[in-house]
Amino acid sequence: LPAVYSLDGLLVFGLLLVCTCAYLRKVPRLKAWLLSEKRGVWGVFYKAAVIGTRLHVAVAVSCVLMAFYVLVVK
């Protein structure tokens, strides 16, 4: 539970959310079901999917750096 309140825990959660939503956007049935709303609570998932697909290089580099930080540094 202490990882919820740390900055690196929030960064890991954000990266996982962006990566998961970007992956779900590639699946046609899930895209129509989960990522169709652009506003409200469901809009967060849509926006995370857009960030993941448009900035895929930056997200991938961030994931690798965060994995190195969690496994080696921390």
Q: Judge contact between 28 and 14, C-beta under 8 A.
A: no
Q: Judge contact between 8 and 70, C-beta under 8 A.
A: yes
How far apart (Å, rounded) are the C-alpha atoms in residues 33 and 14? 21
0.95 exceeded by pTM: no
Q: Cβ neighbours of residue 38 under 8 Å, at least 6 residues apart?
A: 46, 47
Q: What is the CA radius of gyration of the chain?
A: 14
Task: Work out the percent of the chain whose per-residue pLDDT is above 90.
Answer: 46
How far apart (Å, rounded) are the C-alpha atoms in residues 59 and 19? 8
Query: pLDDT tens-digit profile of 2-55?
Result: 655 788 888 999 999 999 999 988 888 877 887 778 888 888 988 999 999 999
